[in-house]
């Protein structure tokens, strides 16, 4: 039973149909056949893309470094299997735009041979700094969708003296059950990963939040954490978007993250359960992040389930493996239906952020036609960030983007709750995504304009400096000639 105090901590949100029953009771499958070709993007994380260290024609082993990180906020990329590097070129990204990004093409040899791995390590014999270095070298990023390099967050936690590590086991998006199954089947590894993160951050305690529609996962995690007093496993209400960091922090700790601040400002840092498991494998077993669990679901999927998938696998191969009926496939979504991205084609690779692939039928996506706003204010009540969605949308329609920013556009998390509850079927979140993209484009254009102006100014100054130098040189030459002429005349007089 939720206490009155806790109920005030849940702001906005909705209760969409979970649609998880098709996969929640199915064990994670390791039967997916190794693809003959993998497409490994070098940009699978927040920050700069990784820089290749391999060449076309190189033979690589599974887990071998393909590209190193660039700068502090970046992550390396490793080989998901063994084989030959056939090309390094642009390939469409798993994004609604499908714009090309630099990608490593690998022809697998079918052997799936790991590089020589170091023997298992005792993480607690390592320093906190060494933990962060090894997590970074393993290419681990936030696997809940944010893809922020995990090592950077560990360093932030240590630097900011974080008091509580929060682990997100909510998985509030409909259809998705990859985290649920991972908690049910690998709870010991997840808890071990949490202990390693606590050690790496020098943080005293962790709280795991699991939605109450995942009782089996809760029991498994509770049992795995029983011997570790610093780790508390708690249930949270099934309430979308409970997986949002600020919502979960508010509910579990009672702390409010400032609108213009970060979780670290209130002494909290959050990671996903899959990230904790990846850190367990990276530190305990020296295995970099080269695969992940992906939920394949939706009405068009004949055999939905959760599958261990090598990074770089084409989504089209997963659809074939799960017997997706292409004739009834109306929309292909990467992630969940609320915040996921609709993909234009299926020939796109699985990346570290791919939690799910949804093959949705027309019945699952059909909504009524858009009508005029009736000013019911349901979108305002549903917004977990406490914004004014209808007012922001009206300003965006009028191309008043800066005005929309003034009333909170940049605080929007694009959760889709406002669109979900709108009785007029207004696609509010689409307006916000458009505005965010347009503002980013304008900022880039402004930056480019400023850089161009700077280059022009520098060129003009350089030309001015050269002209000045030429004038000074000419003046010196003239002065020298005058002096010589004067001297010559003086000699003739004498």
pTM given for the model: 0.87
Counted domains in the chain: 1
Residue 220 has a pLDDT of 98
Please list the residues that pair with 428 across neighbouring strands. none
Residue 167 domain-assigned?
Answer: yes
Distances, alpha carbon 492 to alpha carbons 228, 478, 481, 487, 488, in Å = 107, 21, 16, 9, 6
Mean pLDDT of 20-37: 96
Whether 164 maps to a domain, the answer reads yes
Note whether residue 39 is domain-resident: no
Cα 284 to Cα 125: distance, rounded to the nearest angstrom: 11
Report the distance separating Cα 45 and Cα 61, nearest Å: 22
Domain presence at residue 281: yes
Check whether 479 has a pLDDT greater than 70: yes
State the CATH number of the domain containing residue 202: 3.40.50.11540
State the pLDDT confidence band at 258, using cuts at 50, 70 and 90.
Answer: confident
Asked whether residue 106 is assigned to any structural domain, the reply reads no
Of the listed ranges 91-100, 180-189, 373-382, the one predicted with least confidence:
91-100
Q: In which domain, by residue range, is 219 found?
A: 4-31+118-286
101-153 pLDDT tens trace: 999 999 999 999 999 878 888 999 999 999 999 999 999 999 988 889 999 99
Residue 494 — pLDDT band, cuts 50, 70, 90? low
| Dist. CA 199–CA 177, nearest whole Å | 29
Tokens of 420: 């979900």
Least confident of 231-240, 334-343, 385-394, 477-486: 477-486
Residue 6 confidence class, pLDDT cut points 50, 70, 90: low
pLDDT band at 454 (very low <50, low <70, confident <90, very high): confident
The answer to whether residue 252 is domain-embedded is yes
**Range scoring the smallest mean pLDDT among 9-13, 128-132, 302-306:** 9-13
CA atoms within 13 A on the CB side of 157: 29
Please write the tens of the pLDDT for every residue from 33-50. 999 999 999 999 888 899
pLDDT at position 419: 93
Residue 472 has pLDDT above 90, yes or no: no
Cα distance between residue 293 and residue 295, in whole Å? 7
């Amino acid at each position: 039973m939720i206490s009155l105090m806790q109920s005030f901590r849940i702001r906005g949100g909705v209760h969409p149909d979970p649609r998880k029953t098709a996969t929640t009771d199915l064990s994670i499958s390791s039967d997916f056949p190794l693809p003959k070709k993998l497409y490994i993007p070098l940009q699978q994380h927040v920050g700069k893309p990784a820089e290749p260290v391999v060449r076309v024609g190189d033979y690589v082993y599974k887990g071998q470094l393909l590209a190193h990180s660039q700068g502090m906020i970046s992550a390396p990329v490793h080989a998901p299997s063994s084989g030959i590097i056939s090309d390094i070129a642009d390939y469409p990204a798993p994004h609604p735009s499908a714009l090309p990004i630099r990608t490593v093409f690998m022809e697998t040899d079918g052997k799936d041979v790991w590089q020589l791995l170091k023997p298992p390590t005792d993480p607690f014999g390592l320093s906190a700094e060494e933990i962060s270095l090894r997590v970074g070298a393993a290419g681990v990023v936030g696997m809940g969708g944010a893809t922020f390099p995990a090592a950077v967050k560990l360093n932030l936690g240590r630097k900011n003296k974080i008091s509580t590590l929060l682990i997100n086991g909510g998985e509030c998006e409909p259809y998705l059950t990859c985290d649920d199954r991972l908690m049910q089947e690998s709870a010991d590894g997840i808890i071990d990963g949490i202990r390693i993160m606590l050690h790496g951050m020098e943080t005293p305690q962790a709280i795991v939040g699991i939605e109450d529609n995942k009782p089996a996962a809760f029991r498994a995690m509770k049992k795995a954490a029983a011997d570790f007093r610093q780790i508390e496993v708690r249930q949270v209400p099934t309430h979308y978007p409970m997986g949002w960091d600020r919502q979960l922090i508010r509910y579990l700790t009672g702390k409010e993250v400032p609108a213009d601040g970060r979780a670290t400002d209130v002494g909290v840092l959050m990671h996903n359960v899959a990230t904790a498991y990846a850190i367990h494998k990276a530190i305990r077993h020296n295995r970099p992040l080269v695969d992940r669990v992906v939920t394949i679901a939706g009405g068009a999927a004949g055999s939905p389930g959760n599958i261990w998938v090598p990074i770089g696998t084409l989504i089209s191969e997963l659809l074939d493996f799960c017997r997706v009926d292409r004739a009834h496939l109306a929309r292909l979504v990467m992630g969940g239906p609320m915040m996921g991205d609709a993909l234009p084609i299926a020939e796109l690779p699985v990346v570290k952020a791919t939690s799910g692939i949804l093959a949705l039928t027309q019945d699952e996506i059909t909504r009524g036609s858009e009508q005029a706003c009736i000013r019911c204010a349901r979108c305002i009540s549903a917004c977990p960030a406490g914004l004014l969605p209808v007012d922001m949308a009206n300003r965006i329609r009028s191309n008043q983007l800066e005005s929309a920013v003034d009333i909170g556009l940049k605080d929007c998390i694009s959760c889709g709750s406002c669109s979900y509850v709108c009785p007029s079927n207004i696609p509010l979140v689409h307006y916000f995504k458009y505005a965010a993209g347009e503002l980013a484009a304008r900022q880039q254009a402004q930056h480019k304009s400023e850089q161009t102006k700077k280059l022009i100014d520098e060129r003009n100054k350089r030309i001015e400096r050269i002209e000045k130098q030429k004038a000074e040189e000419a003046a010196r030459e003239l002065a020298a000639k005058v002096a010589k002429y004067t001297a010559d005349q003086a000699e003739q007089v004498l």
